[in-house]
Amino acid sequence: MRSTLLRLVAAVALLPVVAVPAAASPAVPKIDWKACGSEYPGLDCATVPVPLDYDNPRGATTKVALARKPASDKANRIGTLFINPGGPGGSGVEFALGAGNELDKQLKGRFDIVGFDPRGIGQSDPIHCFASEEELNKFFEGIPAFPYQADQERPYFDRLRSLAPKCLAADRTIARHMSTADVARDMDLLRQAVGDKKISYLGFSYGTFLGATYANLFPNNIRALAIDGVLNPELWSSGRQIQSDRIATAEEFGEFLKLCDAAGSACAFHTPGGAVKRWERTADSIRKKPIKLGDELVTYDVLINFVVGAMYGPEGWGGPQGAGAVLDQIADVVEGSVSAASAPFTREADYANGFDAYNGNVCADIQMPSRFGEYQAIGRYAEAGSRFGPLWWWGNAACADWPVNDDRYTGPWNHRTSAPVLVVGNHFDGITDFRGAQAVARQLPNSRLLAYAGWGHTAYGRSGCTTEYMNNYLLTGALPPVGTVCAANPNPFLPSVASVSAGLPVAPRR
């Protein structure tokens, strides 16, 4: 829900004191690496068993799928770098297959680059709430991406809350064991399986919540942990992420409109009266009356969803097929200057069990409200923040009847780690705002904040400055100087601006 790779470049139990033997430790799995196939030369794949329930570590198991790009400089190999692209629901296997070779180059061939699909996701015992893709599509029939009119709210809520019984059916055991804490426990077991005494980790977006969870569950097992595009775990785990979401996208989109005006005619959406006024007229008009754009019916929820998607990557804002050009064509139809136009207006492609996996993890981790009135009230709060707030909020209704996992972790988030944690945030990240990075840097006493003064979701591979600092940290443990802020890239609407991306993966998920 929050994606495929956009470019190559989320409580400790108080046990009664009784005379029982200490719980057995889970068995460390042996990884039997095999070639992933001719499509991925030089990359290895494997599947290993891990405990389904760590309270019964020698009991039933589930499976975790992995992919590895072996270190190309074996003589100077440091160990394994575990990577996570975000989500929840993002495939670490696909991330490693798509980005492993480039990460190997960036990190001088000194790590095995390993991605894994978290439990319930991708190839790791995937949760499926529907019998078929057709059934999944029918689930969404008749409801918008989010309710933006009062009469849409109850039907939307009832539809989303009906998801839990489908996912929690007796034959879908994994649904009851998908908490991020269990994913972190899996990751520590994988660390042992690859033979590393301490972990090296690079996580994006929701992967920063996984990183923060790991750092607080296993604070003495850190060699290097870099998190980029950071969720504040206090907000996320408590269900208060809407405090960020209600304003974060609007803040970055405000920059989009300012940069459009600054670029003048180079930005298709620019008008002499200013991009802000044109946007407000366009959005207000479509909220009242949808338009046709080619074969696409552009309703208000579709428009808002498009803008949110555009905020992931400013590299796609300019040019004849960029977000600015699409908004220009939409506005032209609204303003009556052209008839129904044709535009490259596409939605994100479906991917295996992404919707199911997102909710399986979020609902396992977070105690969301259960009553319709609560969703309405928080929906009003979200909309008071910005036009984009309700889109981020209402999807949580899927968790209304979904019990949280007993083994979830909700803090504390302030453990001192055995090595410093590098926390990276963009000043204008509309998906995980800069305040999240600032919060984690405050929470973790042994951490360092690295800032990128630009736009978009995550900085690695987007900013050469940030990428260099992060690479150096992962290789050597050296931190950037206190207060380091990497300068923003040039205005993305200017036609002379070439991408400064290092060709690395920027994870467009949360």
3-class DSSP state of 498: coil
Q: Using 50, 70 and 90 to split pLDDT, how confident is the model at 169?
A: confident
pLDDT in tens, 265-286: 999 999 999 999 999 999 999 9
Spatial CB neighbours of 267, under 8 Å, sequence gap ≥ 6: 259, 260, 261, 275, 318, 324, 493
234-249 average pLDDT score: 98
- Separation CA 478–CA 466 (nearest Å): 13
pLDDT for 171: 65
Q: Give pairs for 51-54: CB < 8 Å, separation 24+.
A: 51/26, 51/185, 52/173, 52/174, 52/177, 53/177, 53/407, 54/26, 54/182, 54/185, 54/407
Q: What percent of the chain has pLDDT over 70?
A: 89
Residues with Cβ < 8 Å from 452, sequence gap 6 or more?
A: 424, 425, 426, 427, 459, 462, 463, 465, 466, 485, 486, 488
* This model's pTM is above 0.95: no
Sign of CA dihedral 297, 303, 304, 308: positive
363-415: per-residue pLDDT in tens?
999 999 999 999 999 999 999 999 999 999 999 999 999 999 999 999 999 99
* Predicted local distance difference test score (pLDDT) of residue 103: 98
Question: What domains are there in the chain, each with its CATH number?
Answer: 34-127+175-239+409-486 (3.40.50.1820)
- The CA-based angle 12-180-422, given to 5 degrees, is 95
CB atoms within 10 A of CB 372: 15
